[in-house]
């Protein structure tokens, strides 16, 4: 499959992740995509696979139905495994395509063999209990079982040991020789340059270079100006050339070694003092001590810039959040709901959060809230309108609607709060608020830590849900919206999500313990709470708005 991109740009919210990309990905070739972190590689892969649409520009595929013909393997393999056994996991995509049972099993076994497994030994194992390298190969087998025309791999060697990496490279070389078009995003230039038919270097969302790897290593300044390290073999070759050894610039260490075998090298020993590279670096000895004197802590530096809400003292935000939430919950009229909507909108604007982001954040709650709304409006037997055995009451519908919208506004306020307050200020502010409870022996410090971690977990979990949805969609689901998903597919989201959350919780506990967390010991805070005039003004405004809502809403 051949792909042609013309003038392709992509925006997340308001920020450009890709700008004006023009490129061709030739059929049956292996293209390596590299660039510094954040340069737009993963975004480009999502566009190529059809999981995202360009904000502008066009992507033309040489075949019809590209979504069905392109398989993508994302960065973290654990986000793509969801079934109880390796076999079920790989067969999932085939089931969606309506492939009969026996053919499914044959294709699954063949795909597992292609990535170096003994199918009989692994088919019934739980994918969650495999090692990182094995999980990655199972995910690739799942992609290959779909018999795609193009395979896209995002960081396939990250976290793999050298022998697993070599196994993976052998698989890729074999697949390319069978005509598969392969696109790989990677930071591992040493490993993939020797394989690449074409290299695309990304820089700040643009194509910085597009051409053969050999030309790229012949002009190492291109890699350097993109913030990438020139591969070791290339650097050694340049050093040798500068010292009079006539070697061609290689794309791999093997190539360099075989070029060197033609030369008789005599290595002159230099004393250490002659080496500028090994001279002690006076500046490096002056690393910052961390105590920093009056220098602001990392959190303080972060929170003195950005939106108005970001610059407020966390105590002002906690107070505002609590009194506004109480006032919103107290409203009982449609006017009160409209006023709450207005206040929430103003706060979201002050937090610089777009409507699109708010909508995306709230949408997972809609189903639950519609159910709660119906629950408030519908009763058995009585009501203003009868539908079979059920009755619909207008007053119940209005009361339920007011309550449901109130909760949605409070969740949106929570979004504004967590988006503008990082972990430490959030915890310090909360701890300050509940400090009086220490007198009744309440463990306020543990409580504030638990609350701050839990609050920060919410956006993280939503992001994981998004990744899992994309992983399922990449197996052949036609839409990445939730509406066309069956309950079984939705249930597939929960097992891996639960595993990810439990694993994250476990790692968090180990991290806290390994840092010597002692509940009794006094703590030195990195972050100083500072109340300013602006906090007083904003708190006054929020208190006035909350009082008006309370009395007139
Ligand atoms: N879901 C998102 N919402 C908002 N911005 C995003 C999102 N995902 C990525 N970005 C931004 O888009 C830009 C490109 O990100 P992308 O993940 O494509 O880079 P990358 O080159 O793949 O990075 P890495 O090598 O670290 O994986 C970055 O500035 C990133 O912060």
* Residue spans per domain, the chain: 3-212, 306-517+525-552
Provide the CATH number for the domain formed by 3-212 in this structure.
3.40.50.300
CB distance 200 to ligand 1 below 6 Å: no
Query: How far is it, in rounded angstroms, from Cα 384 to Cα 381?
Result: 10
User: Two tokens at 174?
Assistant: 């074999």
Nearest ligand 1 atom to the CA of 75 is 27
In whole angstroms, what separates CA 221 from the centre of its chain?
Answer: 31
CB distance 403 to ligand 1 below 6 Å: no
Average confidence (pLDDT) over 118-133 = 88
Average confidence (pLDDT) over 397-414 = 88
pLDDT tens, position by position, 274-303: 444 444 443 443 433 334 445 555 445 445
Query: How far is it, in rounded angstroms, from Cα 177 to Cα 194?
Result: 15
Residues 6+ positions from 264 with CB-CB distance below 8 Å: none
Q: Whose CA is nearest to atom 6 of ligand 1?
A: 12
Average confidence (pLDDT) over 2-21 = 91
More confident residue, 26 or 82: 26
Q: Are 42 and 63 in contact (CB under 8 A)?
A: no
If you count DSSP H runs as helices and E runs as strands, how many of each does the chain have, helices first?
21, 12
Q: Whose CA is nearest to atom 31 of ligand 1?
A: 38
Nearest ligand 1 atom to the CA of 205 is 14
Q: Whose CA is nearest to atom 12 of ligand 1?
A: 17
CA of 134 to the centre of ligand 1 (A): 26
Smallest Cα–Cα separation from 519: which of 436, 426, 445, 425? 445
Percent helix, strand and coil across the chain, each to the nearest 5: 55, 10, 30
Average confidence (pLDDT) over 382-407 = 78
Pairing of strands 56-61, 3-12: antiparallel
Nearest ligand 1 atom to the CA of 42 is 22
Mean pLDDT of the chain: 81
CB distance 354 to ligand 1 below 6 Å: no
User: Two tokens at 225?
Assistant: 């100006």
Smallest Cα–Cα separation from 380: which of 368, 388, 390, 372? 390
Residue 370 has pLDDT above 80, yes or no: yes
- pLDDT of amino acid 284: 40
CB distance 108 to ligand 1 below 6 Å: no
CB distance 19 to ligand 1 below 6 Å: no
CB distance 324 to ligand 1 below 6 Å: no
Residues 6+ positions from 519 with CB-CB distance below 8 Å: 443, 445, 446
Q: Are 217 and 52 in contact (CB under 8 A)?
A: no
CA of 444 to the centre of ligand 1 (A): 37
- pLDDT of amino acid 162: 82
Q: Whose CA is nearest to atom 16 of ligand 1?
A: 40
CA max distance for the chain: 100
Beta-bridge partners for 15: 12
User: Two tokens at 61?
Assistant: 């595929």
Nearest ligand 1 atom to the CA of 202 is 21
Residue 427 has pLDDT above 80, yes or no: no
Q: Which of 77-91, 447-461, 474-488 has the highest mean pLDDT?
A: 77-91
DSSP for 327-356, written as a single string: HHHH--SHHHHHHHHHHHHHHHHHTT--HH
Smallest Cα–Cα separation from 89: which of 139, 147, 146? 139
Average confidence (pLDDT) over 140-156 = 91
Query: How far is it, in rounded angstroms, from Cα 310 to Cα 541?
Result: 17
Residue 510 has pLDDT above 60, yes or no: yes
Q: Which of 39, 72, 356 has most ligand 1 atoms within 8 Å of its beta carbon, as the pocket-test mutant?
A: 39
State the CB neighbour count (10 A cutoff) for residue 71: 25
Instruction: Report yes or no for ipTM above 0.90.
Output: yes
CB distance 463 to ligand 1 below 6 Å: no
């Amino acid at each position: 499959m051949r792909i042609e991109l013309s003038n392709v740009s992509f925006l997340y919210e308001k920020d450009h992740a890709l700008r004006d990309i023009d490129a061709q990905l030739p059929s049956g070739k292996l293209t390596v995509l590299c660039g510094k972190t954040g340069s737009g590689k993963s975004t480009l892969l999502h566009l190529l696979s059809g999981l995202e649409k360009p904000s502008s520009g066009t992507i033309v595929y040489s075949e019809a139905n590209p979504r069905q013909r392109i398989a993508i393997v994302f960065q973290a393999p654990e986000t793509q495994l969801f079934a109880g056994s390796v076999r079920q996991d790989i067969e999932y995509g085939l089931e969606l395509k309506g492939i009969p049972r026996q053919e499914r099993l044959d294709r699954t076994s063949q795909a597992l063999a292609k990535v170096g497994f003994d199918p009989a030994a692994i088919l019934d194992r739980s994918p969650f209990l495999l090692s990182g390298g094995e999980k990655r190969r199972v995910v690739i087998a799942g992609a290959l079982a779909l018999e795609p025309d193009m395979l896209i791999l995002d960081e396939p060697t990250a976290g793999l040991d050298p022998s697993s990496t070599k196994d993976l490279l052998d698989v890729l070389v074999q697949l390319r020789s069978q005509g598969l078009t392969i696109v790989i995003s990677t930071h591992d230039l040493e490993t993939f340059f020797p394989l690449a038919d074409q290299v695309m270097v990304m820089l700040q969302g643009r194509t910085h270079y597009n051409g053969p790897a050999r030309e790229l290593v012949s002009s190492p300044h291109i890699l350097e100006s993109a913030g990438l390290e020139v591969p070791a073999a290339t650097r050694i070759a340049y050093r040798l050339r500068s010292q009079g050894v006539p070697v061609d610039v290689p794309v791999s260490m093997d190539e360099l070694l075989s070029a060197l075998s033609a030369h008789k090298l005599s290595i002159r020993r230099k004393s250490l003092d002659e080496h500028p590279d090994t001279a002690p670096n006076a500046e490096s000895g002056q690393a910052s001590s961390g105590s920093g004197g009056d220098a602001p802590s990392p959190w303080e530096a972060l929170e003195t810039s950005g939106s108005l809400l970001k610059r407020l003292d966390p105590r002002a935000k906690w107070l505002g959040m609590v009194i506004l939430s109480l006032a919103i919950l107290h409203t009982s009229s449609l006017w009160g709901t409209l006023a709450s909507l207005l206040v929430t909108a103003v706060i979201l604007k002050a937090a610089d959060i777009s409507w699109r982001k708010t909508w995306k954040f709230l949408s997972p709650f809609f189903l639950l809230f519609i159910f709660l709304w119906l629950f408030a409006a519908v009763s058995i037997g009585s009501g203003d309108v009868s539908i079979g055995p059920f009755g619909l009451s207008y007053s119940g519908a209005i009361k339920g609607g007011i309550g449901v919208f109130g909760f949605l506004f409070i969740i949106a306020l929570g979004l504004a709060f967590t988006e503008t307050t990082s972990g430490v200020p959030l915890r310090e502010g909360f701890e300050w608020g509940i400090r009086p409870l220490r007198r009744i022996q309440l463990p306020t410090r543990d409580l504030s830590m638990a609350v701050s971690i839990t609050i920060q977990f919410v956006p993280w979990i939503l992001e994981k849900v998004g990744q899992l949805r994309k992983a399922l969609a990449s197996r052949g689901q036609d839409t990445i919206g939730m509406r066309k998903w069956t309950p079984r597919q939705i249930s597939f989201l929960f097992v891996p999500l639960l595993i990810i959350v439990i694993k994250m919780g476990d790692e968090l506990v180990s991290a806290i313990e390994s840092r010597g967390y002692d509940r009794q010991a006094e703590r030195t805070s990195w972050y100083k709470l500072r109340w300013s005039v602006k906090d007083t003004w904003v708190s006054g405004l929020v208190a006035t708005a909350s009082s008006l809502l309370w009395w007139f809403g």
